[in-house]
Amino acid sequence: MVTIICLIRHGQTDWNKQGLVQGITNKRLNEVGIKQANDAADFLLENDPTWDVILSSPLSRAYDTAVIIAKKLHFTQEIKTDPIFMERQFGAAEGKVLDKVMYEEIFQEKIEGLESLADLQKRGLSALSKVNKAYPGKKVIITTHSQFIKGILSALDPDFDFTMYLKNSSLNYFTITNGQIKIWQYNITK
């Protein structure tokens, strides 16, 4: 029995556009982000329209992305939220410009209140295992965040380049068979 999970990064926010670190700061989608969420929904509608479950981070930018996708897919069940899918906590870096210096401080984990990469990876893998246990053999969409997705990718593939830009509203597919999580495809956009 194979569980298919599609992690979808939320659409753009004004802070994304301005190059600010968001973390767990709650920001809504901007007009571009709404269009990106609709584009992701259109891609799913054209290529993979049938899903059993839609889950989301409770942060507005992810939840609003889930609502847009659910509407286009005619998904009528409740969208359940879980804080396990939230973005990485960036502590003192939240709200600051993500320049080369800030990125290096984050990468070297020198920021007060920053969730470590090891903890992020552990949380991400735990989240996917939890979903597999709750919905074995189902197809599950989870709207979430860049660092959360990249944490999982880097945990599963040691050669994954954590500096790679994960596009807003990108689709990232994983399969779980007999408890084994595997990367299927990632960073897919319309």
Q: Catalytic residue numbers?
A: 10, 87
Residue type, 112: E
Structural Rg of the chain based on CA atoms: 16
Cβ 45 vs Cβ 72: under 8 Å: yes
CA-wise closest residue to 171 among 183, 156, 189: 189
103 φ, ψ to 5°?
-60, -40
Q: Catalogue the E-assigned strands of 70-109.
A: 80-81
186 φ, ψ to 5°?
-145, 160
In sequence order, the 6+-apart residues with CB closer than 8 A to the CB of 73 are 41, 44, 45, 49, 51
Question: Which of 124-133 are b and which e, b meaning 16 or more Cβ less than 10 Å from the residue's Cβ?
Answer: beebbeebbe
